[in-house]
Structure 1
């Protein structure tokens, strides 16, 4: 089921030579504010406004995908319908993309963002815990959420947060490249990059990284725990 790297690169770099962020195809609107860890990232890239998703690790750190790197960012917190505005809008002080991020093959696709001021936690704004190393079996009962377009014919963002359940697949190459993967017609594709793959006990297991045909890749967070801890401490 794995897509060869040469084909994957063609697919994900089809738009302006950049990785295509993912969007929720299928699924349904999330219960308002039921995912308080979700962050909508406003990204300024060469004077253009673009969007990715992310999720709160603490009062002052957001995790997202490294291919969401930009010239500057604003983290919008406490959002369900973005037309109504966020509860908190905090600029990003510093970005920490993984030093081995490979844009050509979308490897090590993980980034931490340090907020300029601490978020104020509330019923609508909370951090999510990260999964530990776990066993050899894949996590079950996984969910992805985001504001990406849910219509394959349109590129517009969904005004409201949407979510979909995904089932992870056993794949040797995915595991070797520090990824979880899922497959099927429904899943993340253009606008949801950087959001969390949330599984058992509401833990963040992965980061939405790429979509190519009917294969979806999620950076496996537990494989980067040492790097994450070094950034948070230093």
Structure 2
């Protein structure tokens, strides 16, 4: 899966805006990825679709480049979806009230490519919609670990699209592989991932989706190189764990009646 938009020579995992597709993967089983969120960011002239994932009934994590658009886009999240083109009874469509992009995010280099979205109302947790855990600060996933990445991104470089949730198994790679490929790769805040045989990948439209290892979301689809499917760089969630928890505490304070920041 790769990001939605190509903002530079790096691929973005949105539908490659970063990254945006699942290539060489398979259709996910219904209800097997209940934490998945489909994001639609819309401004006056463009629509950008990405992935995301529910970490709390009122909070979704995704890639910052997914909402980094001219003006202030209107962002909507769909939870509980399998076929995004159908109005499935399992789906919950919720507007995003506000979002917090990491203060050191760089749109040119995809550094600190992470955003936390505050939902306008809490999601209803059920068999179709559930939260996924994230790792503690600096808890690294080992090289060689096989992880899954689900998404609704392109299934080939020829712009083949899918309405049905798909997923691909990718392996965590040695940092030096990404350091050779990407001049701005930062091991402390990114994870090097991919299929060395180059037959499986995320691509455009997959941006913002989770790298799920051992039942936890360890990474966020961020970027790659449009010339090759391997390797790909994911945002390392454990590096941002303190920032994420700080924002979640702010969410709670803002929801407290009588709080200076509450509506």
Q: Matches of 1:152 and 1:10 in 2, distance apart?
A: 15
> Is the aligned partner of 1:197 residue 2:211?
yes
Partners in 1 of 2:173 and 2:56 — Cα distance?
Answer: 30
- Give the drift of 1:23: 0.8
Q: Paired residue for 2:150?
A: 145
Please name the residue that 1:5 is paired with. none
Give RMSD over aligned pairs: 2.0
Contact 1:107 1:177 in 2 (8 A): no
Q: Deviation at 1:32?
A: 1.0
Counterparts of residues 102-121 of structure 1 (less than 5 Å): 102-121=106-125
Q: Structure 1 residue 210 and structure 2 residue 223: aligned?
A: yes
- Is contact 1:140-1:168 (8 Å) kept? yes
Hey, what's the Cα distance between the residues in 1 that align with 2:247 and 2:145?
29
CA–CA distance in structure 2, aligned partners of residues 72 and 88 of structure 1: 17
Residues matched between the structures, number: 221
Q: Deviations over 1:16-47 (max 9, x none)?
A: xx934321111100001210000000110333
SS in 2 for 1:209: strand
CA distance in 1, matches of 2:145, 2:194: 14
Corresponding residue of 1:80: 82
Could you list the per-position Cα deviations for residues 147-167 of structure 1 after superposition, in whole angstroms to 9, with x for gaps in the alignment? 0111221253x1100001001
Pick closer, same or farther for the CA change 1:12–1:166 going to 2, 3 Å: closer
Structure 2 Cα separation of the partners of residues 187 and 92 of structure 1: 29
SS of the equivalent of 1:193 reads coil
| 2:236 alignment counterpart | 220
Where 1:223 maps in the other structure, the secondary structure is helix
- 1:60 corresponds to which residue? 58
Matches within 5 A, 1:170-181: 170-172=174-176, 173=179, 174=185, 176-181=187-192
In structure 2, C-alpha distance between the alignment counterparts of 1:160 and 1:136, rounded to whole Å:
28
Q: For 2:213 and 2:85, how far apart are their aligned partners in 1?
A: 29
Contact 2:37 2:79 in 1 (8 A): yes
Q: 1:136 to 1:74 in 2, by over 3 A?
A: closer
1:155, 1:190 within 8 Å by CA — same for their partners in 2? Answer: no
- TM-score normalised over the length of structure 1: 0.88
TM-score normalised to structure 2 length: 0.78
Q: Please state how far the C-alpha of 1:9 moved relative to its aligned partner.
A: 3.7
SS of residue matched to 1:91: strand
Following superposition, the deviation at residue 135 of structure 1 comes to 5.3
State the SS of the aligned residue for 2:248: helix
Tell me, in whole angstroms, the C-alpha distance in 2 between the residues paired with 1:153 and 1:210: 18
Distance 1:126-1:139 versus aligned 2 partners, 3 A rule: farther
Q: Residue in 2 aligned with 1:19?
A: 17
Structure 1 counterpart SS, 2:191? strand
1:233 to 241, 249, 256: 249
Structure 1: tracts of 5 or more residues without a match: 1-7
Q: CA deviation at 1:125?
A: 0.2
